[in-house]
Structure 1
Amino acid sequence: MSTATDSDMAPTANPLSHERRGAVVLDRISKRYGDQLAVDDLSLTIEPGEFISLLGPSGCGKTTTLRMIAGFEEPDAGDILVSGQSVLGTPPYRRDVNTVFQAYALFPHMSVAENVAYGLQQRRTPKAEIRERVSTALDMVQMRRFADRKPTQLSGGQQQRVALSRALVNRPAVLLLDEPLGALDRQLREEMQLELKLIQARLGITFVFVTHDQGEALSMSDRIAVMRDGRIEQLADSDTIYGAPISAYVAAFVGQQNFFDGRVTPDADAVDTPRALVRPAQPVTSVAAGAAARAAIRPEFIELSATRPDGDANLAEGRIIGVSHLGETMQFLVQLGPDHSVIARRPTPDAPRLAVGDAAWCSWRAESVQVFAADAAAAAAGFVEPPTAEAVPPV
């Protein structure tokens, strides 16, 4: 048997190629604050030029993970590599990363151009190069015509663009974004989501985006890391995270779900619940027969009708206790029993003409059913059970 020598175990001395600039590797990192374990033995590899989101509720460890990449926190264990080099012990200003925060932290006494140029001036970049790079960075975010204004003369969305420009002007290998859109109103936030994705695609810079907003993560990310208790519960692209969650926790946090709690039938063909016998397309293999389980159906997969549908589809009878017009869709709240309601969403042109108080049949295809092990994680993920009739104000 051969024995590894010190030279065999030493890291390779060859420098990384330019194509690997922007790669981030988190190698079993952990971070503890007193008795609280904020990040627990987490490993993640981020490819150069990837847009990845760390998604999860407050306290899941996503912001602590970002701060460790940035250098504002040091892990208690593990290693962090940026562009192939360990950055442990390297201060934030010496790492090839920049961070954009929810609080933009612009200097109020400086103009927009001076704010963007500040980092370059600290690095003693030549003045001619500063002017060129500031103009280019402001053009990226369509803010050059505001170059002479002070931050107080800008809207929230314009200040966000300046903060982004200030981060990009340094041409970092990795851009870290910590809930940067949280202070914006809904319309402006959606506009900035599109702009961020376009800028990232154009520049090819690695983006690591922290958010608790599932819509932001789904619309912008190449991959999403759904976090729970300092670990990654699921890492996948948006389609997989939304359409094939691996646990009730992920299913509850990403998108909206209707959960039916019960037990797997002896033949493993269904989940027997107080309000419906919920049958998936295939026998249940993720939960043992007779064990507690959660069946999940998304609101857009639930059909509604005033009469019992023909065929052997999954069925549940109830009555309408709420109707909401959401523009392109109509949302119906259907009470199936004293303590159980479901949400159904139908495209507005095809939505049934049902009103509050009407009897209604809910049906859904077996292919739309997902079954998970029983888990209190839905509540931990912020899932709110649809209200029952007693909680709905009278019309």
Structure 2
Amino acid sequence: MTTATDAETAPATNPASTDGRGAVVLSGITKLYGDQVAVDDLSLTVQPGEFISLLGPSGCGKTTTLRMIAGFEHPDAGDIRVSGKSVLNAPPYRRDVNTVFQAYALFPHLSVAENVAYGLQQRRTPKAEIRDKVTQALDLVQMHRFGDRKPTQLSGGQQQRIALARALVNQPSVLLLDEPLGALDRQLREEMQLELKLLQARLGITFIFVTHDQGEALSMSDRIAIMRAGRIEQLADADTVYARPASAYVAAFVGQQNFFRGRIEESGAAIASPHALVRAAKATLTGTGQGEAAVRPEYIRIAADDPTETTDANTARGELIGVSHLGDTMQYLVRLGDEQSLIVRRPTPDAPALQVGDPVLCTWAAHHVLLFPADDAAQEGGYVAPPTTV
């Protein structure tokens, strides 16, 4: 397994700011449930005002990590510091953090304004101050005119805004978000992604966002921590995670990849798979064992096959078994053999007119090829080979 190096996990800004308000530092935290390791010696530094996402499949430890920062779970080892102070012995209500969950947990018998005011009332905040803070919080999420309504009178997106206002009304230094958009439909979820990022930029509050949705993480985050089996596999900005994944696991989980498995050849610069010799621009593998090559669908060109044309590396012949219109792109599913298919995506204006059943030739450039050791990480990361029958 590839783990993030110190250089990769180091924040881009001045390390001295890790003691500032909103900084979160996890140092070697481990969480066990019986003999199961949920979080395994994990270290992470989040800068004040940073938007960072914990991304990974179910069971990778991302929500457990968030719950330990919030105080709902306690690590078996390690330390957690928020704004420069250890919070290991502090209950949730004594930590300068607030949490927004996927289930908004609004009180149905209270009005919107009363829901937002609830935390302030528990702290015995003066009534005049409560009124001002609730107004400010509702204004932040553009919900002031709904203050007298009950949660059941609101849409899912409006309820999500109220949950955010309730979390922000205490002006925490860190906001923890545990898949808060998961219950929304696609269009509303995309709208809320933009609103969340704009809100975070305006407030300057540290956001730690847990999601299994790569699109959410890519579109909103300053940095993304890809988690695997309780550890961070890679920690980097969206461009780096997408274009230069640290492992086959990351490559498979972020976006889609076409994987070719086979023998390592050409001094570590190529993979000889049953259906194609896949060559990278430079050698990155060692030895002569098994390896994997990955090519993203958008980097593959497709055309009607000319059987008289000779082929070299980075070409594959197959049969077109599916064509899908995705709006701005056309997607082609190509069968290379009984256990190998390719997904190809081309911009709609430039997409070739091909029909199911056509013999096709797929080609790609060496600089778009990524090479990895073979360790079944692609399947673990979420990659499932396209079907070879339709």
> Is the TM value for this pair above 0.5?
yes
Q: Shift of the alpha carbon at 1:139? A: 1.1
Match of 2:111 in 1: 111
- SS for the counterpart of 1:267 is helix
Which 5+ residue runs of structure 2 have no aligned equivalent? 1-15
- Preserved contact between residue 261 and residue 290 of structure 2 (Cα < 8 Å): yes
Range 41-50 or range 124-133, more displaced: 124-133
Q: Shift of the alpha carbon at 1:30? A: 0.3
Match of 2:383 in 1: 383
Counterpart mapping for 1:272-283 below 5 A: 272-282=272-282
Give the Cα–Cα distance (whole angstroms) in 2 for the partners of residues 17 and 250 of structure 1. Answer: 29
- SS for the counterpart of 2:172 is coil
- SS for the counterpart of 2:268 is coil
Q: Shift of the alpha carbon at 1:289? A: 3.2
Match of 2:293 in 1: 295
Give the Cα–Cα distance (whole angstroms) in 2 for the partners of residues 270 and 24 of structure 1. Answer: 42
Match of 1:151 in 2: 151
Give the Cα–Cα distance (whole angstroms) in 2 for the partners of residues 180 and 197 of structure 1. Answer: 13
Give the Cα–Cα distance (whole angstroms) in 2 for the partners of residues 18 and 113 of structure 1. Answer: 35
Counterpart mapping for 1:170-249 below 5 A: 170-249=170-249
Is residue 307 from structure 1 mapped to residue 305 from structure 2 by the alignment? yes
Give the Cα–Cα distance (whole angstroms) in 1 for the partners of residues 63 and 18 of structure 2. Answer: 28
Distance 1:344 1:18, change over 3 A: closer
- Preserved contact between residue 251 and residue 257 of structure 2 (Cα < 8 Å): yes
Q: Shift of the alpha carbon at 1:64? A: 0.4
Range 379-388 or range 71-80, more displaced: 379-388
Counterpart mapping for 1:130-141 below 5 A: 130-141=130-141
- Preserved contact between residue 330 and residue 347 of structure 1 (Cα < 8 Å): yes
Distance 1:17 1:302, change over 3 A: closer
Match of 2:51 in 1: 51
Q: Shift of the alpha carbon at 1:351? A: 0.6
Distance 1:275 1:18, change over 3 A: closer
Distance 1:61 1:18, change over 3 A: closer
Encode CA deviations 1:84-133: one digit per residue, 9 max, x unaligned.
00001100001000000000000000000110011111111121211111
Give the Cα–Cα distance (whole angstroms) in 2 for the partners of residues 326 and 357 of structure 1. Answer: 20
Which 5+ residue runs of structure 1 have no aligned equivalent? 1-15
Give the Cα–Cα distance (whole angstroms) in 2 for the partners of residues 18 and 248 of structure 1. Answer: 31
Distance 1:17 1:250, change over 3 A: closer
- Preserved contact between residue 56 and residue 226 of structure 2 (Cα < 8 Å): yes
TM-score, normalised with respect to structure 2? 0.93
Is residue 100 from structure 1 mapped to residue 103 from structure 2 by the alignment? no
TM-score, normalised with respect to structure 1? 0.92
Distance 1:289 1:156, change over 3 A: same
Alignment size in residue pairs: 373
Match of 2:359 in 1: 359
Give the Cα–Cα distance (whole angstroms) in 2 for the partners of residues 84 and 92 of structure 1. Answer: 17
Give the Cα–Cα distance (whole angstroms) in 1 for the partners of residues 91 and 262 of structure 2. Answer: 52
